[in-house]
Structure 1
Amino acid sequence: MNPETPANKAEQDGLPRPLGRVPYLTPVAAAPEPRRGRKPLGQILVERGDLSADDLVRATQMRAREQARFGDILLAHDMVSEAALYAALSVQFGVELADFAAHPPDVRLIDQFGTDRCLRFGMMPWRRIGKVTVIATARPDDFDRHRDVLEAQFGAVRFAVSSESALQKALLSSRKRSLAAAAEIRVATHESCRDIKKMPAIRLISGFALMLVALGIASPRGLFLVLTLWAVLTLVANSGLKLAAAILRFSVVGRGEARAQPDVVPIGRLPTVSIMVPLFKEREIAGRLVRRLSRIEYPRELLDICLVVEEDDTITQAAVAATRLPRWMRMIVVPRGRVKTKPRALNYALDFCRGSIIGVYDAEDAPAADQISRVVSHFDQCAPNVACLQGVLDFYNSHTNWLSRCFTVEYATWFRVVLPGLERMGLVVPLGGTTLFFRRDALEELGGWDAHNVTEDADLGIRLARHGYRTELIDTVTQEEANCRWWPWVKQRSRWLKGYGMTWAVHMRDPVKLWRDLGAWRFFGVQCLFLGTLSQFVLAPALWSFWLVMFGLPHPLRGMLPDWAFILLGATFLASEVLTISVGILAVARHEHKGLWRWVPTLHLYFPLGTLAALKGLGEIITKPYYWDKTAHGLHDIALPFEEDAPAQLPHTGPLLLINPVLIPPLSPPELAPAPLQLVTGRARKGAVPRKTAQGLDHAAARLTYLAPAEAATRRTLDKDAPFDHYPQGWAIAAEQRATFTAAVSFDITHVTITPQPDDAPDEPPENSDPP
């Protein structure tokens, strides 16, 4: 790894210190048990009348299996108010509640400690009283862990309690601009494109372009020959990679040896996961986004979803404000800066995140319900140097028009064939912009995202590899909206290709070092993926010229090359076209892409738009390299099956009699109304009457068999991965499915007593029993 840290480099440049890891202060996810003699927090809340005894029992059970603070559990499930929680904490620790209105924070103390550290560790040097510095903290149980460091910096210290929201508000009232400026320079200068016009690679390309212009003036056919040969060379390299990826992908699938994705397995204590969702001018998408993210099956106290919005984006702020956000979802407003890009917004929001795993979604995303559970399980089982997981992207509006169909074919080829193949070949995996999950410590070590790169995801994929980390693909799907209008598609693709060019120039500023960091094989892969892709789009017209021969028209290279060489070039082009069609058809062979194979041959008409986009992007590298060409969302957004005709509250479906449920950690979207559930033993035909009716279920296994009391003779099996139209009964079954798989967290297997009935019990469901 490079010994030159982002912080050191920034200091050498005379810039403000970027935010990075603080090695001597480590965030602690789970609070310790209270000291002997200190009254437990739950007891204080119950005595004060702020918490019910039943909620105390529920919260205690959840805390035993999660890396969550007790207070976070109470807040996430609306068991107490924030004011009541922190008032009780002040009583528990015998300290005052910080009043920032009466005594504003001392900004000199904040600067001395560091604004980024204040956010990361939930504490802030507040004020001095005599020779004592008062530290306001939202995590009083962590204070003693940091006392030595604080005393070394401030002398005598004591602490006061503050809610996290109040602490952040007081901190940002004076220091949000410095945080915004630091977000632009988190990445070290030598790994950033913020000085792109000074890079050797850009000067080299500019000189080469001038040479080509001179050659074109002197010999137009000579220029065409040079460009065609380079286009064919890059075509052979990229087609070779695609063919190898396809062979690897489909050969192992055919033999049944595809790498098994880890099942969701029990983990000792589940970690907190933070998901950042950058939004910009998203009037139409905000409400639907909240509903889609509410489907995520993960304990709410361990889920931290941050909607990241620009300060001057009043449209999105108003849309989010009009949407009722659950406790585990919040909006983070990014102050104005010199650039306005997605990576800058992510950098700013990173220090507000609470999780040890950081994820990124886009505004229009609809992730699989079990996606976070799969990510956590995968990180728990994989090697420590696996710093990033990339999910599969697909489109929910793939059949909107021809453009969306072609876009879906292209995405299926990339995410289901090419990327898995690149991973198996040990090459660098260029990341997609969404459904990304990182180990937080690795992400902070690299300085987060390059705020000036308009394809920050692909750049981060290379930087992870250069620093010794690996990216793995995980078989979980996020559906998003396909850009299906031709000019917005061109603008989006031009941004991607512009970013590819900038990323290549950044990492090729020192080719020898890139070779040493990656090795020869991965160095070759980077050249194919970035320089080769750009070359293919820009020089595609030279390759298309071979279609002239098919129609009996003269070709510019006739007479300049021997016949065998001309035929070889033409055959290479045709072979690549056959490969593209074949791989595309195989990529959309899945059930969800039914019928798309017919449209694969029309990709010949689709890719010319990419050439237009590439030319636009290359021009912008010179004129406006950091301009983010925004993609509008919500224009062709559709209601997904679980959203169609969904009532505000789910209908009551009657008790569901579950057979042999397997439980994993809880989930409870607050807007869902689960039906009461009754647990029965495996011998359901003989019956077993529970003495207690559970009002919800944490989460059932992938398949649940139950008996519906309304239809005593009917036995049904629900599969949470099956499409909703799988059930012919329609919405009634869909409602039961949602109620079952997203029920409340109150059910616990250890608190249900089963009373078997005699063996001669009738072969029918037991009657409902009332709770004791």
Structure 2
Amino acid sequence: MALDGDSAAIGELLLDRGLLTPAQLDEATARAEEWHVGLIEVLQSRRWLKPGELYRALAFYYDLRLVDLFEAPPDIDLVRQQDVTAMTDALTIPVRRMAGGTLVVATARPGPRTLLHIIETYPGDVEIVVAPQLDISWALQTAFREEQLHRAVYGLADTDPVMSAKSVITPPQVVAIYLMISALLVGFATAPVASLIALNVVMTLFYTGNFLFKAVLVWVGGEVQERYSRAIAAEAAAMRDDDLPVYTVLVPMFREPEVLPILTAALRKLDYPLAKLDIKIVLEETDDETIAAARALELEGVFEIIQVPQSHPQTKPKACNYALQYARGDFLVIFDAEDKPEPDQLKKVLAAFRQRSPNTACIQCRLNYYNARENWLTRMFTLDYSLWFDLMLPGLERLGVPIPLGGTSNHFRMDVLRELNAWDPFNVTEDADLGIRLTQKGYRVGVIDSTTYEEANVSIPNWIRQRSRWIKGYMQTFLVHTRRPIHLYRSVGLPGVIGFVFFIGGTFLSGLLNPIFWATFLVWMIFGADAIEPFFPPILLYMSLLNLLAGNALLVYLTMVAPFRRRWTDLAPWGISVLGYWVLMTIASYKALKQLISNPFYWEKTQHGLSKQTANELDAAKSDAEVAT
């Protein structure tokens, strides 16, 4: 695609003013043709020009006034008469009506297409002016603040309340739990031995089913689908940049300015036209430090800061829901601030969407850590993630079981995400909940072989805060999706229900039940078999021994083989120490249960940037940024 006359003339104007070098203009022109976008979009994806210089040149070329919407804000009542999505897409906004009736309309993209849009949207006399894109975005956020905040918080609860964790537990669930506890207490009062035996049978069967299910997942998921992976890689490599859609990237952050440069450097390295990325740095409006750090980076124009109004609950899903209303892409992905996705990830995801069934709504990429070998905790965290993302999630997909999404590198079709009211702001593991909800609504979630690397926790207290929040979210998700057991069965089938119970329920129940089994084992070790024999008939005793010996041995073995797929064989021996990791899981599980009762919507903050390796990643990111400038 050759540049149109306006773009070519604007390029020459910038060259004549000394704002671009000939080499920069040649590169921008080539990129515009290669990516099938306008010259301005390419310049916005580079840091050759300051925003003020670019928009002054645009105003001069089109003989329009340049306005500052921060110094002279638009008439909010006038703005609210228009559709915010249309204004976001067109980058236009009505500013004010003059005394004679003329409407002043600001745009960040003057030109024939915008002129046609303005004529169709704003009848009557119109004066067109130029305003920077960030000015327009901020004006829209200000005008629709309350309305969009309410939708971000209550969109799901208002339209599909049974799927929202806003109500932690429903009256029927309260009755069910009350009846179960009552039956247990009556049993202990009237037949204590028989009741304890029955309870032991239930717990033993659950444990047996839990480790057998995980073994099946690893066996199924471990079958390397080389042909499928190669097909995705081949199609991704063959994609033409001019055919690629606009892709929205959400980066929700809170009080972590130190790691922001890592992600911005990683996004610049993506094998995707930067001019076709719609990147939203999503920050809480009270987080002055991170906002200042983001602005100090002087990021390219494709990066946009979205400030989320303060409200309850203050959670990542609420922030993402708010930013979603300004997303312009056909697809959307969430990255955390310290993430480093593999460069070809977005193209692989698009290839996967094309090859999967039409009802595929989300592609989950794999997560792992770039500081895996820093200490014992990071090694165990890496083994945990390798088992989870490299083996178990592919197993869930192969079996057609609902997949709980990870917190980052989830790629969505934008239309489905909006149809489902996106994330539940009252669920502190909103990603896992959304994965289950997608399946219940008839959509599929896929997993592909592309990895995003992030920082593993190096501190045990920090790890417990993070893991207790995850487990609390799994508890919320379990409560939400068991409110209608018949509906759950009809929507996901029997294998889906079994998988949901063991994968979601088993994640937190095993942590809660572990101390009971450990205590029983200690009693047996100290006092002998006579002390527990009345409560463990022979067949139950054999099953319990099977759990203790074979079950735990199998889980240790699975932990040890998890890193082999990535050829990280040096990590395998650390799997022997997984019992210590399970102790931490139990501590986190009981903390999660306490918070579910006392403070269910509290988002426990995980501190990033503590790793020594992160400092190296930050230095490398800063060096890349200097080269890019």
Settle same-fold status: TM greater than 0.5: yes
CA distance in 2, matches of 1:412, 1:647: 26
Report the CA distance between 1:395 and its aligned residue. 1.9
> Does structure 2 retain, via aligned residues, the 8 Å contact 1:275–1:306?
yes
CA distance in 1, matches of 2:194, 2:116: 71
- Mark the CA change 1:103 to 1:412 in structure 2 (over 3 Å): closer, same or farther: closer
Instruction: State the match for 2:376 in structure 1.
Output: 402
CA distance in 1, matches of 2:456, 2:419: 34
1:658-712, CA deviations, whole angstroms, 9 ceiling, x for partnerless residues? Answer: xxxxxxxxxxx65337xxxxxxxxxxxxxxxxxxxxxxxxxxxxxxxxxxxxxxx
Instruction: State the match for 1:725 in structure 2.
Output: none
How do 1:672-711 and structure 2 match up within 5 A?
A: 672=627
> Does structure 2 retain, via aligned residues, the 8 Å contact 1:186–1:449?
no
CA distance in 2, matches of 1:204, 1:94: 71
Q: Is 1:371 aligned with 2:345?
A: yes
Q: Is 1:71 aligned with 2:44?
A: no
Which has the larger displacement, 330-339 or 448-457? 330-339
- Of structures 1 and 2, the one scoring higher in RCO (CA 8 A, sep 6+) is 2
Instruction: State the match for 2:74 in structure 1.
Output: 105
1:300-353, CA deviations, whole angstroms, 9 ceiling, x for partnerless residues? Answer: 222333322212222323433444434433432212012110111111122333
How do 1:338-349 and structure 2 match up within 5 A?
A: 338-349=312-323
CA distance in 2, matches of 1:408, 1:497: 18
Give 1:608's match in structure 2, choosing from 583, 588, 591: 583
Instruction: State the match for 1:164 in structure 2.
Output: 133
1:116-165, CA deviations, whole angstroms, 9 ceiling, x for partnerless residues? Answer: 554354333333456665543334555477569846xx788775543221
Which has the larger displacement, 94-103 or 272-281? 94-103
Instruction: State the match for 2:562 in structure 1.
Output: 587
- Mark the CA change 1:471 to 1:168 in structure 2 (over 3 Å): closer, same or farther: same
Q: Is 1:634 aligned with 2:609?
A: yes
SS of the aligned residue for 2:529 comes to coil
Which has the larger displacement, 484-493 or 551-560? 551-560
Report the CA distance between 1:99 and its aligned residue. 5.6
Instruction: State the match for 2:8 in structure 1.
Output: 42
CA distance in 1, matches of 2:478, 2:92: 40
> Does structure 2 retain, via aligned residues, the 8 Å contact 1:120–1:354?
yes
CA distance in 2, matches of 1:560, 1:145: 81
> Does structure 2 retain, via aligned residues, the 8 Å contact 1:304–1:328?
yes
Q: Flag the structure with larger Rg.
A: 1
Instruction: State the match for 2:217 in structure 1.
Output: 245
> Does structure 2 retain, via aligned residues, the 8 Å contact 1:245–1:422?
yes
CA distance in 1, matches of 2:517, 2:390: 27
Q: Is 1:496 aligned with 2:466?
A: no
Instruction: State the match for 2:422 in structure 1.
Output: 448
> Does structure 2 retain, via aligned residues, the 8 Å contact 1:224–1:542?
no
> Does structure 1 retain, via aligned residues, the 8 Å contact 2:169–2:479?
no
State the one-letter code of the partner of 2:627.
L
CA distance in 2, matches of 1:116, 1:137: 15
State the one-letter code of the partner of 2:584.
L
State the one-letter code of the partner of 2:6.
P
> Does structure 2 retain, via aligned residues, the 8 Å contact 1:41–1:88?
no
CA distance in 2, matches of 1:214, 1:431: 40
Instruction: State the match for 1:260 in structure 2.
Output: 230
State the one-letter code of the partner of 2:512.
V
SS of the aligned residue for 1:184 comes to helix
1:451-508, CA deviations, whole angstroms, 9 ceiling, x for partnerless residues? Answer: 1110000011012212222221121222222223333222222111111111122222
> Does structure 2 retain, via aligned residues, the 8 Å contact 1:344–1:450?
yes
Q: Is 1:317 aligned with 2:283?
A: no
Report the CA distance between 1:551 and its aligned residue. 6.9
CA distance in 1, matches of 2:193, 2:258: 52
CA distance in 2, matches of 1:589, 1:640: 28
Give 1:336's match in structure 2, choosing from 289, 310, 335: 310
Report the CA distance between 1:420 and its aligned residue. 0.8
Instruction: State the match for 2:106 in structure 1.
Output: 136
CA distance in 2, matches of 1:269, 1:342: 32
Structure 1: segments with no counterpart, 5+ residues: 1-30, 650-668, 674-743, 745-772
> Does structure 2 retain, via aligned residues, the 8 Å contact 1:452–1:626?
yes
SS of the aligned residue for 1:68 comes to coil
Instruction: State the match for 2:365 in structure 1.
Output: 391
State the one-letter code of the partner of 2:555.
T
Instruction: State the match for 1:623 in structure 2.
Output: 598
Q: Is 1:278 aligned with 2:248?
A: no
> Does structure 2 retain, via aligned residues, the 8 Å contact 1:59–1:70?
yes
State the one-letter code of the partner of 1:554.
A
State the one-letter code of the partner of 2:457.
N
Instruction: State the match for 1:575 in structure 2.
Output: 550
Report the CA distance between 1:269 and its aligned residue. 1.8
SS of the aligned residue for 1:309 comes to strand
Instruction: State the match for 1:27 in structure 2.
Output: none
CA distance in 1, matches of 2:191, 2:574: 40
Report the CA distance between 1:212 and its aligned residue. 3.9
CA distance in 1, matches of 2:38, 2:442: 33
SS of the aligned residue for 2:533 comes to coil
Instruction: State the match for 2:205 in structure 1.
Output: 233
- Mark the CA change 1:642 to 1:492 in structure 2 (over 3 Å): closer, same or farther: closer
Q: Is 1:563 aligned with 2:538?
A: yes
> Does structure 1 retain, via aligned residues, the 8 Å contact 2:360–2:443?
yes
How do 1:207-218 and structure 2 match up within 5 A?
A: 207-209=179-181, 211-212=183-184, 215=187
Report the CA distance between 1:191 and its aligned residue. 2.1
Report the CA distance between 1:631 and its aligned residue. 0.9
> Does structure 1 retain, via aligned residues, the 8 Å contact 2:402–2:496?
yes
Instruction: State the match for 2:445 in structure 1.
Output: 471
- Mark the CA change 1:613 to 1:603 in structure 2 (over 3 Å): closer, same or farther: same
CA distance in 2, matches of 1:525, 1:408: 23
State the one-letter code of the partner of 2:337.
A
State the one-letter code of the partner of 2:32.
R
- Mark the CA change 1:355 to 1:70 in structure 2 (over 3 Å): closer, same or farther: farther
Instruction: State the match for 2:148 in structure 1.
Output: 179
Paired positions, count:
616
Instruction: State the match for 2:95 in structure 1.
Output: 126
CA distance in 2, matches of 1:137, 1:446: 32
SS of the aligned residue for 1:305 comes to strand
Report the CA distance between 1:626 and its aligned residue. 0.4
SS of the aligned residue for 2:245 comes to coil
Which has the larger displacement, 80-89 or 304-313? 80-89
CA distance in 1, matches of 2:512, 2:393: 23
Report the CA distance between 1:298 and its aligned residue. 2.9
1:557-577, CA deviations, whole angstroms, 9 ceiling, x for partnerless residues? Answer: 512343133212321443221
CA distance in 2, matches of 1:511, 1:620: 25
Instruction: State the match for 1:664 in structure 2.
Output: none
CA distance in 1, matches of 2:109, 2:133: 8
> Does structure 2 retain, via aligned residues, the 8 Å contact 1:196–1:502?
yes
State the one-letter code of the partner of 1:465.
T
Greater helix proportion: 2
